[in-house]
Homo-oligomer: A and B are copies of this chain.
């Protein structure tokens, strides 16, 4: 069965909505543990009970089974909290508690409070354990025919050896935003690393085009524990490339780049060949450029809203 566009959205934005399905929403919310920071009485993420349990009794962490909260209780500065988080996670990595920690990246992700202040940093591979919002950039690189105006999209296939989503299709450039890095600087860095795109071209021609936000629930393809909650915010960029600028894999993460027509891209999406969140970025591109409309898809209104889920956690 070919996947509809709404199927593709449902794959990625998989957490129930309280307005339309309050009982499913509450069942989830009341099962999971809220991650908090002491002095900040609100959820920074939702954690599986089986994950929260592992933090019981560890210094600087307080597990409350009545309130169903896990509270980080370590100093009052981002630096103090980050240090405590790092020590805990390093120990858990040593003891082999969580499979996702085998993908340790030595990259720090930021977790923000309600005043947009940095609360703490967390090792990238551990952020889905805590269920906190992670941030990335996704770039769609495309060409436009001078004669016909036809748009084609540069579509990379991930190396089959990649730990996560190996062999699946991707956006031209995509990557996580490290703590302290701006989305645009992250974009420039990843464009060089992943697609060998000249910095000057990216700086002058890449155009910001909003965000795609959703609430992912990890499956086997992401590697490690499944059912982890992963709210994500992707900063979206478009880049129209001149005919003579060909993206080339830069770091071994990409097997090949294809220059595909809109129909070829749609076909691959229907076939489920895209990494789930990348198909959302393609859908957003198709919406903004008039290729996906109410005439072409009966779920149009729902799709456009779902590409821009309001995250219920503080964000940058």
A residues with a Cβ closer than 8 A to B are 17-20, 22, 116, 182-184, 207-211, 213, 233, 235, 287-290, 293-295, 298, 300-302, 304-312, 315-316
Q: Collect the chain B residues with CB atoms within 8 Å of residue A312's CB.
A: 17, 19-20
Report yes or no: B289 in contact with A316, Cβ–Cβ below 8 A.
no
Q: Collect the chain B residues with CB atoms within 8 Å of residue A287's CB.
A: 208-210
Q: Collect the chain B residues with CB atoms within 8 Å of residue A293's CB.
A: 183-184, 208
Report yes or no: B316 in contact with A309, Cβ–Cβ below 8 A.
no
Whose C-beta in chain B lies nearest to the C-beta of A116? B298
Bound: A287/B304 CA distance, A: 15
Contact of A305 among B183, B208, B311 (CB under 8 A): B311
Contact of A210 among B304, B309, B311 (CB under 8 A): B304
Tell me the smallest distance from the CB of A131 to a CB of chain B, in Å.
Answer: 14
20 extra interface residue pairs, beta carbon distance < 8 Å, beyond A19-B312, A184-B293, A306-B310: A18-B19, A19-B310, A20-B312, A182-B294, A183-B294, A207-B289, A208-B287, A209-B288, A209-B290, A210-B304, A211-B304, A211-B305, A213-B304, A233-B301, A235-B294, A294-B316, A301-B315, A301-B316, A302-B310, A305-B311
Whose C-beta in chain B lies nearest to the C-beta of A13? B310
Bound: A258/B96 CA distance, A: 65
Tell me the smallest distance from the CB of A106 to a CB of chain B, in Å.
Answer: 25
Tell me the smallest distance from the CB of A17 to a CB of chain B, in Å.
Answer: 6
Which A-B residue pairs are the 9 nearest by beta carbons? A19-B312, A308-B308, A305-B310, A207-B290, A18-B18, A208-B293, A208-B290, A210-B287, A301-B315
Chosen A-B contacts, 9 in total, with CB atoms closer than 8 Å, are A17-B310, A17-B312, A18-B22, A183-B294, A209-B288, A209-B289, A301-B316, A307-B308, A308-B308
Report yes or no: B211 in contact with A300, Cβ–Cβ below 8 A.
yes
Whose C-beta in chain B lies nearest to the C-beta of A307? B308
Q: Collect the chain B residues with CB atoms within 8 Å of residue A298's CB.
A: 116
Whose C-beta in chain B lies nearest to the C-beta of A207? B290
Report yes or no: B309 in contact with A310, Cβ–Cβ below 8 A.
yes
Q: Collect the chain B residues with CB atoms within 8 Å of residue A289's CB.
A: 207, 209
Bound: A18/B18 CA distance, A: 6
Report yes or no: A311 in contact with B301, Cβ–Cβ below 8 A.
yes
Listed residue (A20, A184, A208, A233) with the most chain B CB atoms within 10 angstroms of its CB:
A208
Whose C-beta in chain B lies nearest to the C-beta of A15? B19
Q: Collect the chain B residues with CB atoms within 8 Å of residue A182's CB.
A: 294-295
Whose C-beta in chain B lies nearest to the C-beta of A284? B210
Bound: A308/B311 CA distance, A: 12
Tell me the smallest distance from the CB of A33 to a CB of chain B, in Å.
Answer: 17
Tell me the smallest distance from the CB of A12 to a CB of chain B, in Å.
Answer: 15
Bound: A309/B301 CA distance, A: 10
Q: Collect the chain B residues with CB atoms within 8 Å of residue A307's CB.
A: 308
